[in-house]
Chains A and B, each alone.
Chain A
Amino acid sequence: MLLLAGPCFIFVAKPTEQHLGQYYTVPPSHFHTVFPHGLPPRYQQQVKTFNEGCVMVRQPALELISHLKRADYSKPTLRYLLYGVKGSGKTMSLCHTVHYCSTQGWLVLHIPDAHLWVKNCKELLPSSYHASRFDQPIQASNWLRNFRTTNEHFLSKIKLRQRYVWTKRESTEEGRPLGELVDMGVSRVKSSSDVVGAVLKELRLQAGGTEGGFRLAVAVDGVNGLWGRTTLKKEDKSPVAPEELTLVHNLRKMINNDWCGGAVIATLSQTGSLYAPSSAYLPQELLGEEGFDSMDPFVPVPVSLYSEKEFESCYLYYLDRHWLQHPHSQTEEGKKELIFLSNRNPSVLERLCAFL
C-alpha cells in the first residue's frame, strides 16, 4: 500500500509523526465496513469521484492516536473532545482515529451525528420501557444496521449477561450472542430504541473485562446535540427535552466515565446544531453549561486550519488527481489566490476547487 508520488504527499500505510501532511489511503474493503455512515457527505462524493479514499495525516488525529496508545485502560475512560472552527477537519480527524481503532481491533461505536437524533424525526413513539420517554424507531434501526456492518466479527463473540424481555412473547436469554440482539432490533422496529439501550449497556459492562476483553471506542460526532434543545414536539405541541428521548438518554450514560476499558472521542459541530450562533466553536459555547459539566473532565484537542505545509500537500494532491483543471490554478499566482479566497480552511478550499 506504500505508493510514492510527488514530493509533498505520499501514500503511507501506517501514519506516524514523520508523515505529517501526507496522505494515506484507506483500502477500499475497509470503506464499507468501517465507515458505512461516518464520513462527511462531500468527502464521500470525493471518494466516489477519485475512486479511492485518501485521508491527510494531521496533527490532531496523530495526537489522539498517541493518547490512545499510551492510555491506561484499567482506569475510568478518558474523554477526548475535538473542537475547531467550521470546516477545519474535525469529522475527518475523528474518522481517521476510528479507522485506526478498527485496524487495532477495537470495537467501534460510531454515532455519525448526534444531531440527527434530536431533529427531523417523523415518528415519536412513547417508550414501552419507561413511561415518560420517547422512542425513535427509524433512527435506532438505521443505526443498529450500520453497527452490525461495522462490527461483524464481534457480534458472535460477545455474550449477553442479562435477560431482556421485549414483549410478553419475546425475550432474549442470557448467554445469547450480541448479534441476535442486534438482529432482533433491526427486524422489530418498534423496540429498536430499547435494543440500542441494551446494546450500549452490555458493551459498557463488558468492555474492560479480562476474559475476552476488548477495547471499546465510542466516537460521537456533534456531541453538543445531546445537551441542547430539540426541534421535536409532543402531540400537545410542547417541546421535547433531550433527556426524554431514549436514544439520547442511553448515549449520555455511555459518555459518562463510570466504565473502563475504552475511550470516548467526541467532536463538536456547529453545522447541524440547533439554536447555536454560527460563529460559536468553543466547547463552552456549544456544549452549554449542562453539557460541559457532564463532559468535564475531558482532553480538548483543537483542530486548526491547514498550515502552509498541509495546504501545499492538499493542493498537490488535487493537482495529481487532475481535479484542478483550470490552467491558471496550476500557476503560483493561482495558488496565492486560492490561499486568499479560502484562508486555508479545508472545507472552503474543497468547495472552491470543486468547480475549477
Chain B
Amino acid sequence: MAASGGRTVGSFLWKCGNCCFNFNTVSSNLTRQVLSRQLCVSAVLHRKNLAAAGPEKFSEEFIKKQVEEFNIGKRHLANMMGEDPETFTQGDINRSIAYLFPSGLFDKKAKPLMKHPDEVFPKQRAVQWGADGRPFHFLFYTGKQSYYSLMHDTFTKALAVEKHQDRLRGKDLFTQDAKQISLVGSRWLLKEELEELLVETISEHDYARFIQLMERLLSLPYCSVEEDFVQRYRRQLEIQSSKQQVQPLQYDQHGVAYSTGDGKQRKTATGTVLLRDSGSGSISINGTNYVHYFPVLQDREQLMFPLHFMGVLGRFDMQCSVSGGGHSSQAGALRLAISRAMLSFLSEGQVETMRQAGLLTPDPRIKERKKPGQEGARRKFTWKKR
C-alpha cells in the first residue's frame, strides 16, 4: 500500500509488528513522507531497537477495520433507536448503550462502552528507521526526537518573527502596539497533555524549557503572526461561577421573602433549609432547637459559618430538616443547604466570594472502601516477622 504524498496523518503513529508496513512518524510539523514498501524485517532487529515505546500491539490495518466497523455499527445503532444516522452524536451513542445494556456495576470504566477506536486504542509509535537501519528523523539520536523537533520549530518561528520585525523597522512601519495574542481564559498544556501529544515521555525540566521558549516567543511584539501555532498549545479554561444556578426569591403571604436550599448531600446526610427574611436568628432543626440538636460546638459553628461570612447573623429565621449520616455530616449538609438558600438574597459579587470561600462546593469525601488483605481501608494487619 502506497501512501500518497503530502498528507499529514495528524498525531497518529503506527507500527507494524511482524508484517510489513513502515510508516513515518509524522508530527504536526513535518510533512515529509516516506514511501512504504513490503519488506521482511527480522525479529532480532525489532527486539534490539524497541526502546521506551514498547512493542506494537495493533496493526494499522486492524485499526482501520475497527474504524469502519465502528461507523457501520453507529449507523445500525441509530436505526435501532429510530434516530437519524447522519446526526447521531457520541452522546446519543452513550445514551443508547446505557439503555440497551443496563449495568449494575459501579465503576464507570467497567460498564459497556462504544467509542471511536481512536479513543479506545492507545497511540503508538511507528518504527523510526528504515530497512537499512538508518533513522528517518534527523534528531532520532537525541532520544526525544518529537520534543526536540518541537523546540527547534518553535525557535525557528521566533527567529522568523524577529526577522519580520527587523524588516518592518527597516521600512519604518514598526509600532509597539501591534495586535497581541489574547491569553485570557486559557492555559498552557499540562506536562501530561504535552506527553500525549508528542507520544514520548519528557521530564519536568524539558517541560519547563518548552514553556520558557513559548513565553519568549510571546514576548515579541509581533507574535500574533504565529498565533495559530501558539493556540495549538493552549487550552481554554471554563468560568466556574457561571455554572451556579441562583433561584429567584419567593414571597409568602405576609410579604416576607423566603427561599429554600435544596437537599444537600454530605457523606449520606441530606438537609433542606427554609430561610425567612427579617427574622430574629432563631433556628429550628427537625422541630427542635439547634442548641439541643447540636450539643457540640463545632456543629453550631458550621451552621454559623455562611451567615457570619456574609455578616447577616441576626437577619434570618431558619427551618431545617435533616436526615442520615452522623452529627458532623448533618452539620455539613445543612451548611451547604444554607449557603445555597442564601444565594437568592445576595448579589453577584457576593456569590463569587462565597464560591471562592468553598461554601458552595459539595464535599466529595466518602468512606473509603475496605480492601481484602487489609484490616481497613488503609490499615494493614499486624506484621509478624515470623
Convert A325-356 into 0s and 1s, putting 1 for each residue whose CB lies closer than 8 angstroms to a CB of B: 00000000100110111110100100010000
Task: Indicate whether B314 reaches chain A with its CB closer than 8 angstroms.
Answer: yes
Is there contact, CB below 8 Å, between B292 and A348?
no
B282 to A: closest C-beta gap in Å: 8
Of A86, A278, A333, A341, which contacts B300 at CB under 8 A?
A341
Task: Indicate whether A167 reaches chain B with its CB closer than 8 angstroms.
Answer: no
Convert A40-74 into 0s and 1s, putting 1 for each residue whose CB lies closer than 8 angstroms to a CB of B: 00000000000000000000000000000000000
**Interfacial chain B residues near A104, Cβ < 8 Å:** none
Is there contact, CB below 8 Å, between A337 and B308?
yes
**Interfacial chain A residues near B313, Cβ < 8 Å:** 333, 336-337, 339-340
B271 to A: closest C-beta gap in Å: 18
Of A340, A342, A352, which contacts B307 at CB under 8 A?
A340
Cα of A254 to Cα of B290 in the assembled complex, Å:
39
Cα of A337 to Cα of B314 in the assembled complex, Å:
9
In the complex, residue of chain B having the shortest beta-carbon distance to the beta carbon of A281: B292
Of A336, A337, A342, which contacts B291 at CB under 8 A?
A342
A312 to B: closest C-beta gap in Å: 14
Additional pairs, 6, CB under 8 Å, beyond known A85-B289, A341-B301: A339-B281, A340-B313, A341-B300, A343-B283, A345-B291, A348-B291
Task: Indicate whether B241 reaches chain A with its CB closer than 8 angstroms.
Answer: no
Is there contact, CB below 8 Å, between A279 and B292?
yes
Cα of A348 to Cα of B301 in the assembled complex, Å:
14
Is there contact, CB below 8 Å, between A343 and B297?
no
Of A86, A339, A343, which contacts B290 at CB under 8 A?
A343
Of B288, B292, B304, which contacts A340 at CB under 8 A?
B304
B273 to A: closest C-beta gap in Å: 15
**Interfacial chain B residues near A340, Cβ < 8 Å:** 281, 300, 304, 307-308, 313-314
Of B281, B288, B290, B307, which contacts A279 at CB under 8 A?
B288
Cα of A121 to Cα of B297 in the assembled complex, Å:
33
Within 8 A of A (CB), among B234-267: none
Q: Give the 10 A-B CB pairs with smallest separation, nearest first.
A: A336-B313, A343-B291, A340-B304, A341-B300, A340-B313, A345-B291, A348-B291, A279-B292, A336-B314, A340-B281
Q: Could you list 13 examples of A-B contacts with CB < 8 Å?
A: A85-B292, A278-B292, A333-B308, A333-B311, A337-B308, A339-B314, A340-B304, A340-B308, A340-B314, A341-B297, A342-B291, A343-B290, A343-B291
B284 to A: closest C-beta gap in Å: 11
Cα of A341 to Cα of B307 in the assembled complex, Å:
12
**Interfacial chain B residues near A337, Cβ < 8 Å:** 304, 308, 313
Within 8 A of A (CB), among B313-362: 313-314
**Interfacial chain A residues near B308, Cβ < 8 Å:** 333, 337, 340
Q: Which of A337, A339, A343, A345 has the most chain B CB atoms inside 10 A of its CB? A: A343
Known: A336-B313, A352-B297. A341 touches B292 (CB 8 A): no
In the complex, residue of chain A having the shortest beta-carbon distance to the beta carbon of B303: A340
* Number of chain B residues whose Cβ lies closer than 8 Å to a Cβ of chain A: 17
Is there contact, CB below 8 Å, between B281 and A341?
no
In the complex, residue of chain B having the shortest beta-carbon distance to the beta carbon of A336: B313
Cα of A342 to Cα of B300 in the assembled complex, Å:
9
**Interfacial chain A residues near B301, Cβ < 8 Å:** 341
A271 to B: closest C-beta gap in Å: 12
A340 to B: closest C-beta gap in Å: 5
In the complex, residue of chain B having the shortest beta-carbon distance to the beta carbon of A341: B300
Is there contact, CB below 8 Å, between B304 and A343?
no
**Interfacial chain A residues near B289, Cβ < 8 Å:** 85, 343
B281 to A: closest C-beta gap in Å: 6
In the complex, residue of chain A having the shortest beta-carbon distance to the beta carbon of B307: A340
A3 to B: closest C-beta gap in Å: 32
Cα of A85 to Cα of B313 in the assembled complex, Å:
24
Cα of A340 to Cα of B314 in the assembled complex, Å:
8
Within 8 A of B (CB), among A260-283: 278-279
Of A85, A341, A348, which contacts B304 at CB under 8 A?
A341
Cα of A265 to Cα of B13 in the assembled complex, Å:
94
Within 8 A of A (CB), among B192-227: none
**Interfacial chain A residues near B297, Cβ < 8 Å:** 341, 352
In the complex, residue of chain A having the shortest beta-carbon distance to the beta carbon of B282: A343
**Interfacial chain B residues near A348, Cβ < 8 Å:** 291
Cα of A340 to Cα of B301 in the assembled complex, Å:
9
B309 to A: closest C-beta gap in Å: 11
Cα of A278 to Cα of B292 in the assembled complex, Å:
9
Cα of A352 to Cα of B281 in the assembled complex, Å:
18
Within 8 A of A (CB), among B271-312: 281-283, 288-292, 297, 300-301, 304, 307-308, 311
Cα of A336 to Cα of B316 in the assembled complex, Å:
13
Cα of A335 to Cα of B380 in the assembled complex, Å:
49
Cα of A339 to Cα of B315 in the assembled complex, Å:
13
Q: Which of A333, A339, A340, A352 has the most chain B CB atoms inside 10 A of its CB? A: A340
Cα of A85 to Cα of B288 in the assembled complex, Å:
12
